[in-house]
Structure 1
Amino acid sequence: MTSQPVAVAQVAGAEPNPYLLGVYAPVDTEIDADNLQVIGQIPADLNGVYLRNGPNPRYRPDGRYHWFDGDGMVHAVQLENGKARYRNRWIRTKAFEAESAAGKALWTGVMENPKGNPFGNARGLPLKDNANTDVIFHRGKVLATWYLCGSPYAIDPLSLETLGAEDFLGTLAGDMMAHPKVDERTGELFWFDYGPTPPFMRYGVISADGRVTHLTNVDLPGPRLPHDMAITEHYAVLMDLPLVQDLAAARQGRHKIVFDRSLPARFGVLPRYGSDVRWFEASSCYIYHVVNAWEDGDEVVMDVCRVKRPQPRADAVTPLAKMLSYLRLDAQLHRYRFNLATGATAETALDDDNTEFPSVDARTVGQRGRFAYNVHISPESTLLFDGLVKYDISTGAKTQWSFGQGRWGSEAPFAPRDGSTSDDDGYLVTFVQDERENRSELDIFDAADVTAGPVARVLLPQRVPLGFHATWIRADQLRSFSA
């Protein structure tokens, strides 16, 4: 499938938009390719599929373009018996299909007045739900999600065919946030949604048989913009953070966020199937992504990538640059301890380096694992990942790898080797964009020794624009749901 070319440097004004150029520029072709060229050798015990979501506008954007506005596109590489195949597909959301029928963009983005947009999400936010943020494997399907809460779109993990908006056998009424959590031990999925009107947040559980079995309202003092959550064996952790909607702008029909440093960060701990939330306060911050959480005696422990103060970069001087500079993250590994016996909160900085988009062994979500894998954020003015960082949660040690000059990576999930017995007994897989060669590849690292560099580099048949979140689905998971 091909579409109208979208590689435009600017939209609605003379200022170039960096998120439509170079390694961010969208592609306009969906392809399938087998027997890809490999530098090195794909490990024989690495079998499964790597998928990464991201924004890829199909039509010329209407108004100022924000990176979050692009239509969701999934790029995937399946590894099987030492061979690699590539496939990419747009996610056929309701909005994507409407624009396809019209042959042009129908929605404005987050930096424009949404008045006139055809429709929004279930909670009444009048923006385009493009399912471009994360990809989560649950019950044999991949769920593509949206950062402002939207319909989770089900995708076949191999063909990438969009199966439709997932309503969980008719039991999901409303939206789902970007990063629901799957507990592989129980097969359950945990999520929340939020919106501009009460109830400002709802928390729910989907059972292993694919039905909503628990749903409760969470009392917040006003509309918030939470992004992630955590689970442990017995609890869920939700967040009330001081990045809030600007109500004056909302009354004018604009979507604007502000960071209110006068408010603390609050964390709500509740039983997995409960509604009684206990709130714990900590120093003001914002958190995009949780690393993991677990229980330690009376305490719930949660590791996160903590942003001290989301704000425009000092070198952002033009209006467009200021708005886009919020994309350039500045986050550090941080630990919270919530004492359920005393109600006390303790927090500790674990590293001062700028790392984000964390990954752990999916089999250990909600349990204490030993290792976490983050990407390192470049000091460039746009959001670029220039390396991998492996954290030893037990000792505090870290090791890292730089992709090299002009080479930028993607989120790198842990991919267990066949028969893996620990959370570094396997590999890290990530797309790497080489802007010097104008080429993309899938790099495979031995998770036990990331400093050794990639053990294999799979050359891809087309450029893969930089994007958002990724996942690895093991071959045994694919088999268990196709049998």
Structure 2
Amino acid sequence: MNNYAGTALKPVEDGEENPYLLGVYAPVVAEITADDLEVIGEIPRDLNGVYLRNGPNRRHPATGRYHWFDGDGMIHGLHFENGRARYVNRWVRTEAFDAESRAGHGLWTGVMEDPKGNPFGNGHGLGLKDSANTDVTFFNGKLLATWYLCGTPRSLDPLSLETLGPETFLGTLTGDFMAHPKVDESTGELFWFDYGPEPPYLRYGVVGADGTVAHTTNIELPGPRLPHDMAITENHAILMDLPLIQNQEARHQGRYKLHFDQTLPSRFAVLPRHGDGSRVRWFEAAPGYIYHVVNAWEEPGEIVMDVCRVKDPHHQPKIEHPLARMLAYLRLDAQLWRYRFDLTTGRTTEGPRDDDNTEFPTIDSRVVGKRNRYAYNVHIAREDTLLFDGIVRYDLHTGARQDHRFGAGRWGSEAPFAARDNSTGEDDGYLVSFVTDEREGRSEVVVLDAADLDAGPVCRVLLPTRVPVGFHATWVRADQLGGRG
């Protein structure tokens, strides 16, 4: 079994153990391909496609303190075909990964250290390692692995997970690329933004169905911000100016420090999908932060957007520890929240849809930008580190919810909706999640009926290796694979 023990990595920093290098977070050291996996239950014959998840998996120790976000990107995939499953995991071969591979040791410090000695950073001059470890998106026949601070998207084969190289969209992409692009399957377009510490602070773009950049425009902001996600509707894009700001004094000293300014409102830029930045309409709301959007859509005279809203992203450290600030910052506290932007009056109406702590939302990818009924969020555990102890199914029409808990000591992943063959609706399919058992030190993929979480797992596919707790996931249907399934 591939686990942390016995590797050259050292989880002890400044005399303290780093919990994000131990146990269910510990990196795995081998890339493997495994067939003939043990299954508890039976894999549904109408579940065909591939489940993919990105996350940090440090290959080489680095100087200074390790932050969970520093790890090299690794994609884990489970390919379902006709009642069988194949597991594959591969590192994302970024430029930085290749440089450290050639050197045989770490070359970059992490987000909590001075980046001045790092070989290079992203296009905006941020001297941190672009690890492409955050999200994985399927577009135009390929996977895109992306990074949370904006970097170069990496293109991968969706089945072998081999890195194909930097994604330039046939040479038309200039600048960097955010973590969570949106794909409209009905038009074949991809929507993204790019942000940085110098003007223009925010740039928005569209990749057309032909795979080339069709539109870019600058969005005027009063200063540098740290937007993480965006939304689309059938006719609009929604971008964000939120009051989480990079401390400029610290930046000029070579440090990366964030400040949440509660005196500033949250602002939302609504513009036509292919509109110029001068056509933005700004809508204001109470201060807060949004890591992840559920979805947005249009109703008569208004735009509705559901998100997971963090009231205050800056938890204060409550323990004495060299990593206290990181541990506090990663204590996620978010609630399902709805905004309504009135296109006639310019007013914003907002409020909670649920008061529980849930995040990492997924929906049926076929209805992105259209009104959806269901959202599938992970439930945040009451633990000292960020862990997902279950899945919550929200019915956004009725307000009802269903819950599935993974069980004591079992921690899951973002759980995308996997439409069954010939699926006719947003819950006509399955939810899939990597689950790691901290007691057994092994992982599996749990398959649930999206329409009936109360029924428990349809099946459990046991894996020959542990899958470290990670970030975002996607499901690619067999019909999207173009006969390669």
Fold shared, TM-score > 0.5 on shorter chain: yes
Specify whether residues 204 and 377 from structure 1 end up closer, same or farther in structure 2 by C-alpha distance, changes over 3 A only.
same
Specify whether residues 3 and 332 from structure 1 end up closer, same or farther in structure 2 by C-alpha distance, changes over 3 A only.
closer
SS in 2 for 1:84: strand
1:93-108 to structure 2, matched below 5 A, reads 93-108=94-109
Does 1:352 pair with 2:355?
Answer: yes
* Shift in Å, 1:315: 3.5
* Shift in Å, 1:473: 0.3
Question: Which residue, 469, 476, 479 being the options, matches 1:473?
Answer: 476
* Structure-1 separation of matches of 2:232 and 2:115: 35
SS in 2 for 1:89: strand
1:36 maps to 37
* Structure-2 separation of matches of 1:319 and 1:341: 51
* Structure-2 separation of matches of 1:403 and 1:12: 32
* Shift in Å, 1:61: 2.4
Does 1:226 pair with 2:252?
Answer: no
Does 1:288 pair with 2:303?
Answer: no
SS in 1 for 2:14: coil
Q: Deviation per CA, 1:336-374: give whole Å up to 9, x if none.
A: 001111100000110000000000000000000110000
1:447 maps to 450
* Structure-2 separation of matches of 1:220 and 1:6: 46
Native 8 Å contact 2:24 2:438 kept in 1: yes
Native 8 Å contact 2:3 2:26 kept in 1: no
2:243 maps to 242
2:70 maps to 69
SS in 1 for 2:482: helix
* Shift in Å, 1:12: 4.0
Does 1:130 pair with 2:122?
Answer: no
* Structure-2 separation of matches of 1:124 and 1:456: 47
SS in 1 for 2:356: coil
* Shift in Å, 1:7: 6.6
1:83 maps to 84
Count of paired positions: 482
Native 8 Å contact 2:317 2:327 kept in 1: no
Does 1:461 pair with 2:464?
Answer: yes
SS in 2 for 1:208: coil
Corresponding letter in the other structure for 1:52: R
SS in 2 for 1:58: coil
Corresponding letter in the other structure for 1:355: T
Corresponding letter in the other structure for 2:155: A
SS in 2 for 1:479: coil
Corresponding letter in the other structure for 2:367: T
CA-based RMSD of the aligned residues comes to: 1.6
Native 8 Å contact 1:6 1:57 kept in 2: no
Name whichever of 11-20 and 334-343 sits farther off: 11-20
* Structure-2 separation of matches of 1:15 and 1:353: 32
Native 8 Å contact 1:37 1:458 kept in 2: yes
* Structure-1 separation of matches of 2:465 and 2:11: 23
Native 8 Å contact 1:4 1:59 kept in 2: no
* Structure-2 separation of matches of 1:317 and 1:200: 36
* Structure-2 separation of matches of 1:177 and 1:193: 6
Corresponding letter in the other structure for 2:465: Q
1:438 maps to 441
* Structure-2 separation of matches of 1:94 and 1:229: 27
Does 1:167 pair with 2:157?
Answer: no
Q: Deviation per CA, 1:61-109: give whole Å up to 9, x if none.
A: 2210000000000000000010011010000000000000000000000
Does 1:308 pair with 2:325?
Answer: no
SS in 2 for 1:273: coil
Native 8 Å contact 1:7 1:21 kept in 2: no
Q: Deviation per CA, 1:250-278: give whole Å up to 9, x if none.
A: 01100111111111100000000002111
Native 8 Å contact 1:194 1:202 kept in 2: yes
1:109 maps to 110
Corresponding letter in the other structure for 2:205: G
* Structure-1 separation of matches of 2:274 and 2:7: 46
Specify whether residues 4 and 317 from structure 1 end up closer, same or farther in structure 2 by C-alpha distance, changes over 3 A only.
closer
Corresponding letter in the other structure for 2:430: Y
* Shift in Å, 1:51: 0.4
* Shift in Å, 1:10: 3.0
Specify whether residues 39 and 2 from structure 1 end up closer, same or farther in structure 2 by C-alpha distance, changes over 3 A only.
closer
* Shift in Å, 1:316: 3.5
Name whichever of 320-329 and 127-136 sits farther off: 320-329
* Structure-1 separation of matches of 2:318 and 2:13: 22
* Structure-1 separation of matches of 2:262 and 2:11: 34
* Structure-1 separation of matches of 2:214 and 2:482: 26
Question: Which residue, 251, 276, 279 being the options, matches 2:282?
Answer: 279
Does 1:363 pair with 2:366?
Answer: yes
Gaps of 5+ in 1: none
* Shift in Å, 1:248: 1.1
* Structure-1 separation of matches of 2:3 and 2:258: 35
SS in 2 for 1:143: strand
Does 1:400 pair with 2:403?
Answer: yes
* Structure-1 separation of matches of 2:80 and 2:302: 40
Native 8 Å contact 2:308 2:358 kept in 1: yes
Query: Identity over aligned residues, as a percent?
Result: 68
Specify whether residues 260 and 319 from structure 1 end up closer, same or farther in structure 2 by C-alpha distance, changes over 3 A only.
farther
* Shift in Å, 1:408: 0.3
Native 8 Å contact 2:33 2:88 kept in 1: yes
2:332 maps to 329
Name whichever of 313-322 and 282-291 sits farther off: 313-322
* Structure-1 separation of matches of 2:21 and 2:89: 19
Does 1:385 pair with 2:388?
Answer: yes
* Structure-2 separation of matches of 1:95 and 1:464: 23
SS in 1 for 2:118: coil
Native 8 Å contact 1:66 1:324 kept in 2: no
Native 8 Å contact 1:6 1:60 kept in 2: no
